[in-house]
Amino acid sequence: MRLYIKRDDLIHPVISGNKWRKLKYALVEARQKGVTEIISFGGGYSNHLHALGYCCNKLGIQFMALVRGNYRATPTPMLKDLADWQAQIVYLDKATYQLRSQTDFIAKWQAAHPHALIIPEGGSQTQALAGVAELLNEQTQHFSHIVLPVGSGGTLAGLIAAASTNAADTRLIGIAVLKGQDYLEQQVSALLPQHSFDNWLIDHDFHFGGYAKRNQGLLAFCSTFYQQTQVPIEPVYSGKAAWALKQRLADGYFPPGSQILLLHTGGLQGARTQ
């Protein structure tokens, strides 16, 4: 058995990991079309808003971040960065934010900003799949299993689609970082070009109670992991995936001879939540 780690956290200090993979082609197209404004959605600690806000600032595109909840009095480090990068931040109450993927709601924002490109939460849209596929296509090694954290599902969907054409016996194991049994499976399936893929599953045993929830054990694991490997991980995404992998290895889940890839999706911004 062999364990590998793919360090997409090293792509860039701000646009790290899967956010770059998912946004790449949306941004290429935005540039080609001369888009002057981008609107997207996320929580107060969103790596997606943070990465996208940085890119827009560099590309001279106006960025509007629609944020879940009101952080006006206590902006997070990510929201402060967004403000420094000239993003326009709009706080939505939680009930309104719930509507974020509904057609009517999107249409209303589009009508108010007719020239804007609207990108869904997490950058998880069909266009993201091609960027994520590049991650797998860069590998010369064959893996029996790839383990990765799952938030909105775009990264997992991209890997499922890429593996189905180039690495048919690779199993994709998503570790849910939030409570989302069934919901997450539906999100992933909705992004796939066809629904018959059976090369994947989502493990729901390691969300630690919900998005960004953690305990002392997980925090201690993240710091020990760093001490032993010099690979930084954080408790929101990569820490939960690494913890889950360790647990499943201990359970004897992986057959002898497995070649396992742990995907470090980046996002060390998550270390700033506390």
Footprint of ligand PLP on this chain (CB under 6 A)?
17-19, 47-48, 122, 124, 149-156, 237, 265-267
Min dist CB 73 to ligand PLP, Å, is: 25
Shortest distance in whole angstroms from residue 133 CB to ligand PLP: 13
Task: Please say which residue, 145 or 149, places its beta carbon nearer to ligand PLP.
Answer: 149
Asked if residues 54 and 133 have their Cβ atoms less than 8 Å apart, the reply is: no
**Residue 19 C-beta: closest distance to ligand PLP, Å:** 6
Looking at beta carbons only, is 13 or 142 nearer to ligand PLP?
A: 13
CB of 241 to ligand PLP, least distance (A): 8
Residue with Cβ nearer ligand PLP (36 or 193): 193
| C-alpha neighbours within 13 Å on the C-beta side of residue 34 | 0
Q: How far is the CB of 188 from ligand PLP (least distance, A)?
A: 8
CA angle, corner 133, sides to 131 and 136, nearest 5?
130
Q: How far is the CB of 4 from ligand PLP (least distance, A)?
A: 17
88 closest CA partner among 37, 51, 48: 37
Identify the CA nearest to 18 among candidates 122, 118, 119. 122
**CA torsion, points 205, 155, 65, 16, in degrees to nearest 10?**
100
User: Please, what's the b/e burial string for 221-241 (b: 16 or more CB within 10 A of its CB; e: otherwise)?
Assistant: bbeebeeeeeebbbbbbbbbb
Residue 95, classed as helix, strand or coil, is helix
Query: What's at 243, amino acid-wise?
Result: W
Nearer to ligand PLP, 36 or 181 (CB): 181
Is 167 or 268 the residue whose CB approaches ligand PLP more closely?
A: 268
Number of Cβ atoms within 10 Å of the Cβ of 61: 19
Which residue has the closest beta carbon to ligand PLP? Answer: 267
Would you say 140 or 214 has its CB closer to ligand PLP? 214
